[in-house]
Structure 1
């Protein structure tokens, strides 16, 4: 019979073995964990039979289950809840994080590529900001990063796909054109000018201009977000449903986690992905001048390197000091 997670207490050995199962399952592969593998861990000092008995107890109380006869164990949804509640102090991690927008974009791309997860980040309202200058940076192998900077030095940053010819000379020409379009204009006025002045853009950028205009329009409205790494989810999970990750997803998370600071977790049953039970969300709110702005969300399979991702969030604490 399964017990309530809040009232569950494990003896030290079972705690150690449960932690080992979680660490070995959440390694990016998500394979069932056999007792023999745990018994061989450095510092475990127990035989396979002892581990099997402990895993049987953990299965009986609902923290683990065996997907196949004679297979190793994998954590249940209740097991994940217990792991987060008992082994982490999530509410104390990244309290009142106040990043620059460049850091939001950089972190989203960095986590997505390093751990093969999806990141969805809400961006503050941007439509009325007046642009002083525009910079176009060579962000990575597929993207340019546009910095729309106001007179105070604050910026709204947007990644766009590189054109076929993405040489430095083309990037400089495009940056010069964007400065002509956006300088001394609000973001939305600049967007209208970008559409109206499309024929004056550098020739090498014409083919990409419609796509970029659409991207800018989507991300400079009153509600906007960036989503990176969504393709990783479809590669790793068995889900035919369109996950629809973006502004509507962020609104859902904000409703679920209203007034919660630090790292929060949304496990199976608390997510809008009704046909997919393989995902989990780690979410951190961020602030500017102590005022809430939006949320940074990592959407990942349960087999992802969750503990390492939480450690990445711990590093954000240094940016608050």
Structure 2
């Protein structure tokens, strides 16, 4: 990212913030009224032209003002943005609403997503904890037919995950009960599926005679659960895209965005990188790996339990979003979720 001088930074900041406000190309006369510099509109036009050559602004057509590029927004977010601090009332509203949400952990996450979407008028996406990341309290196996069984995972957070998978070896409900009873009595409490698998492998190596058949089947079942692991994706506020001028004026693009919101696998890919990162992650326009979101931005943060990231909550909207407002809302909502899951 090419560094620019202080005067150019002031002008770039003004262009970005005015464009966020009006969603239209910004001209030099408008900037002259906004900035604390005693310089002419002609000088501002020259600086804006330089910023365009550097890739931070672009001009839709000759007679128009300038619009920030993804690179311009990135420079702004990294170096110039002033992040709004949430007030006590806003924090109380977020924490109080989420903490009073009814139902299990999934209900809490849905309420958090709905609330965040309503407060900042953007679409909100939440990845709920997948089976491989759940801290378990109980596990059950139910025989559905000769070739299919159901596994029920109950997390300490209250989240319940069900998975159906095929099994090519006939097994009775009585044996499934023995496996689940063994796991619940000896291993499950406070562990993830991955940790349960590791425990079983250690036990098999240490004493192959004891429970050998039982444990091998338990290991096989746990591997199948992990292989079919698929996080729940919660989406709220998709229709708020209709409020954004960028998409209202482009019906075909609007249809593409709405289709993307329905593709849970696409949303998982979009949020994948945030699961491995700490703090608020911001992906702007062309920085997004997926073609479907090249003209949109994502602001996301993980919510955690102890040292483990359980899932992600994020806001997705046009590149022209007000990052200084969105970031603290996302960050604090993730903190509240982390606190709730830690207490549970």
Shorter-chain TM-score tier: 0.5 to 0.7
Tell me if 1:116 matches 2:121.
yes
3-state DSSP class of the match of 1:40?
helix
3-state DSSP class of the match of 1:269?
helix
3-state DSSP class of the match of 1:280?
strand
3-state DSSP class of the match of 2:291?
coil
Within the candidate set 51, 66, 87, 1:73 is matched to 66
Give the match for residue 193 of structure 2: none
Within the candidate set 25, 49, 64, 1:56 is matched to 49
Is the 8 Å Cα contact of residues 9 and 80 (structure 2) preserved in structure 1?
Answer: no
Q: 1:232 to 1:254 in 2, by over 3 A?
A: closer
Is the 8 Å Cα contact of residues 303 and 335 (structure 2) preserved in structure 1?
Answer: no
Give the match for residue 22 of structure 1: 16
Distance apart, 1:299 and its partner CA: 0.8
Within the candidate set 31, 34, 39, 2:27 is matched to 34
Q: TM-score, structure 2 length as denominator?
A: 0.56
CA deviations 1:3-54 (Å, max 9, x no partner) are xx1xx11111111111111111123x42111111111126344332232121
Aligned length: 227
Q: 1:255 to 1:227 in 2, by over 3 A?
A: closer
Note the aligned Cα RMSD (angstroms).
3.6
3-state DSSP class of the match of 1:243?
helix
Tell me if 1:268 matches 2:285.
yes
Answer 1 or 2: which has greater helix percent. Answer: 2
- Mapped partners of 2:263, 2:126: distance in 1: 8
Of 16-25 and 235-244, more deviation after overlay is shown by 235-244
Instruction: In structure 2, list runs of 5 or more residues that go unmatched.
Output: 84-94, 100-104, 139-153, 164-228, 340-344
Q: TM-score, structure 1 length as denominator?
A: 0.59
Give the match for residue 232 of structure 1: 240
Q: Looking at CA atoms only, which structure, 1 or 2, has the larger radius of gyration?
A: 2
Q: 1:103 to 1:188 in 2, by over 3 A?
A: closer
- What is the 5 A alignment of 1:99-248? 104-125=109-130, 154-156=157-159, 188=162, 223-234=231-242, 236=244, 237=247, 238=250, 239=253, 240-241=255-256, 242-245=259-262, 247-248=264-265
Larger RCO: Structure 1 or Structure 2 (Cα < 8 Å, ≥ 6 residues apart)? 1
- Mapped partners of 1:88, 1:262: distance in 2: 17
- Mapped partners of 1:276, 1:316: distance in 2: 23
- Mapped partners of 2:320, 2:272: distance in 1: 26
3-state DSSP class of the match of 2:29?
helix
3-state DSSP class of the match of 1:31?
coil
Q: 1:111 to 1:36 in 2, by over 3 A?
A: farther
Is the 8 Å Cα contact of residues 275 and 309 (structure 2) preserved in structure 1?
Answer: no
Is the 8 Å Cα contact of residues 123 and 294 (structure 1) preserved in structure 2?
Answer: yes
